[in-house]
Amino acid sequence: MPGYTHMQKAQPVLLSHYLLAFWEMFARDGQRLCDCRKRFNVLPLGAAALAGTTLPIDRMQTAKKLNFPQVSPNSMDTVADRDFIAEFIFSAALTMMHLSRFCEDLILWSSDEFGFAEISDAYTTGSSIMPRGPMSTVRAVPEGTIAASSVDTTTKVTRILRYLGRVLAIAE
């Protein structure tokens, strides 16, 4: 099949080579999410509102009993920083971007201009302006919503987290 760059035919490629590219993308996405879990799975017990607690608690014993691999080392960082949330959202957004790219390729491939793929009528709907032109709902809906929502959500959450940490550090 032809490989494209900037919507121009570039080099012949195997379909398997194309599909393996997405295998690599989704494998990295999975690794990124697993790596993110390491920073998320930290016991915050004992941080209290800001500077720790005077209660006689054994954080390491509690972490062991609750299956936390580690305890948070600094109480102020624990209550004021939410970087693990931003990291997860970015990882999820990047995964959605890869999925969006795949969906967009399927849309192009099933068009008359490309003709590389054909989608069953069971998975398509008619176009309001071109009744004879089937549109793949299965591909078009994710492709259109994934890209827009992932970037917007990441930006908003990062902005919220920026001020949330500052408020919590000053609160007490």
6, 16, 120, 128: the active-site residue: 6
The single-letter DSSP state of residue 128 is: S
Name the nearest CA neighbour of 95 among 151, 148, 29.
29
**DSSP strand pairing (2-5 vs 134-136):** unpaired
Distance from C-alpha of 167 to C-alpha of 172, rounded to nearest angstrom: 9
3-state DSSP helix/strand/coil % of the chain, to nearest 5: 60, 10, 30
Strand ranges, E, within 25-165:
42-43, 70-71, 124-126, 134-136
Is 91 among the residues known to form the active site? no
Tokens 């080099």 — which residue? Answer: 11
Based on the number of CB atoms within 10 Å of its own CB, is 73 exposed (0-12), middle (13-18) or buried (19 or more)?
exposed
Is 136 among the residues known to form the active site? no
75, 127, 128, 149: the active-site residue: 127
Residues designated catalytic: 6, 127
